[in-house]
Amino acid sequence: MLSSFSARSRAIEPFHVMALLARANELQAAGHDVIHLEIGEPDFTTADPIVAAGQAALAAGHTRYTSARGLPQLREALAGFYADRYGLSLDPERILITPGGSGALLLASSLLVDPGKHWLLADPGYPCNRHFLRLVEGAAQLVPVGPQTRYQLTAELLEGYWNADSVGALVASPANPTGTLLRRDELAALSAAARARGGHLVVDEIYHGLTYGTDAHSVLEVDDDAFVLNSFSKYFGMTGWRLGWLVAPPAAVPELEKLAQNLYISASTVAQHAALACFAPATLEILEARRGEFARRRDYLLPALRELGFRIEVEPEGAFYLYADISAFGGNAYDLCRHLIETEYVAVTPGIDFGHHLADRHVRFAYTQSLPRLEEAVARIARGLRSWRPHAL
């Protein structure tokens, strides 16, 4: 039966963490207290003003399709947000509202990648990025990166790996799984290197707003022709509402609108009305308080894991992840993750979900639990490391 399914479907790898999550859920259902550090979803529910706006939209009967580009008032609100946060004057007509950040990636990859062509992506990186490229019959050329470049693509790496089939590069700042940022000058250099080769620069800014001790620069500050992927899921805490956006050069908008009309008609109307409340001062105050809480969690978990022997060579400045080298403990990352869930009921993501470069030596921790839960997790991990026997599983 499997052979009758498409080659593209068979080529897309599963999330290995989902098997661990399924096991975690089994253990939880059996009465065990599982601490989830594997899934990249904030533990906070959507802020009350956003929920109230969604409820009001339903009560007012806002349940019909919007235009494929999204509610004009939401695109205008986003343009205002770019002006306030980045000092950018952004035409709302350049913004398309999408079903999550994934919808934005689907539009960008459909527009920019022909069959057989590829984008350069950092390895490690978010796995769905390369899978979307496969869906449009393109490919990802994974570029091994490490602490020396803060796990980011650089202009020099782009120049070295670019070939005749390259049509662009996709970078993320802050990045998943490493939480590292690209500086303004680094974004400018990447933009110049891609442009010099006739390529496009696509930047995942989905974790903007969740930075600690510094602010993330938007690529639009240095490249008005870049494509920007963003989402209401992370900073705005609307994961289950499935809402994102894409900022594109003006010339690309008609083609993107045509694609949107055919691929998904429009993003959720109720979610769009709810998102209008994201930019109210009262909502932003809640979100900034949550950012402060994430910073406190990072500042606890980072030194605590290092003290246990995990090697974290680059301090993350954004998102809510720590990407840690397990070499000091021996064995491979997936087996260690299995050991921790089975013996200590702590769920962690293995590095093999994020690429190939030294993947079996790394794990990702998501600090999306409260400080007391993180403290309990560290105590359990310490105990689990004492009982860890490489290759015993």
DSSP string, 64-94: S---TT--HHHHHHHHHHHHHHH-----GGG
Domain boundaries, the chain: 7-45+283-384, 52-279
Burial per residue of 49-67, b for 16 or more beta-carbon CB atoms within 10 angstroms, e otherwise = bbeebbeebeeeebeeebe
Q: Could you give the C-alpha distances from 90 to 107, 205, 252, 327, in angstroms and in order?
A: 20, 16, 15, 46
52-279 has which fold? Answer: Aspartate Aminotransferase; domain 2 (3.40.640)
- C-alpha 138/C-alpha 119 separation (Å) is 8
Q: Quick check: do 7-45+283-384 and 52-279 share a fold?
A: no
3-state DSSP helix/strand/coil percent for the chain, to nearest 5? Answer: 50, 15, 35
Residue 31's region, left for phi above 0, alpha for psi from -120 to 50, else beta, is left
CA distance 10 to 249: 34
Q: How many angstroms separate the Cα of 69 from the Cα of each of 94, 192, 259, 381? A: 9, 29, 10, 46
Could you list the pLDDT tens digit for every one of the 393 residues in the chain?
667 898 888 888 777 777 888 898 999 999 999 999 998 888 999 999 999 999 999 999 999 999 999 999 999 999 999 999 999 999 999 999 999 999 999 999 999 999 999 999 999 999 999 999 999 999 999 999 999 999 999 999 999 999 999 999 999 999 999 999 999 999 999 999 999 999 999 999 999 999 999 999 999 999 999 999 999 999 999 999 999 999 999 999 999 999 999 999 999 999 999 999 999 999 999 999 999 999 999 999 999 999 999 999 999 999 999 999 999 999 999 999 999 999 999 999 999 999 999 999 999 999 999 999 999 999 999 999 999 998 743
Could you tell me the pTM of the whole model? 0.95
CATH topology of domain 7-45+283-384: Aspartate Aminotransferase, domain 1 (3.90.1150)
The pLDDT assigned to 2 comes to 61
